[in-house]
Amino acid sequence: MSIKQKVARKAAKTTAKHTAHGAASKLKRNPVRATTLLGLGAVVGVFAGWLIGRSGGDPEPVAG
């Protein structure tokens, strides 16, 4: 495994932990609002994944 792959995996893991911690914190503070926003985000994410899947290819790379 290359260093680039190791760094990418570590970044993904850290991002996932940070997201989970933030979501749990928001649910404690304002459960109704947080649940609504998280649910909306999940629906949008599923829809975006479905669209990409139906396109039959990879999403276009981000220029930068």
Domain count within the chain: 1
Given this model, what pLDDT does residue 38 score? 82
Evaluate whether residue 64 is within a structural domain: no
Buried/exposed code over 20-52 (b: 16+ C-beta within 10 A; e: otherwise): eeeeeeeeeeeeeebeeeeeeeeeeeeeeeeee
| Residue pair 38/45 in contact by the 8 Å Cβ criterion | no
Evaluate whether residue 62 is within a structural domain: no
| Residue pair 51/43 in contact by the 8 Å Cβ criterion | no
Give pTM, 2 decimals. Answer: 0.45
Evaluate whether residue 42 is within a structural domain: yes
Which structure tokens are listed for 37?
């926003």
Q: What is the pLDDT of residues 9-33, one digit of tens each?
A: 899 999 999 988 988 887 788 888 8
43 pLDDT higher than 90? yes
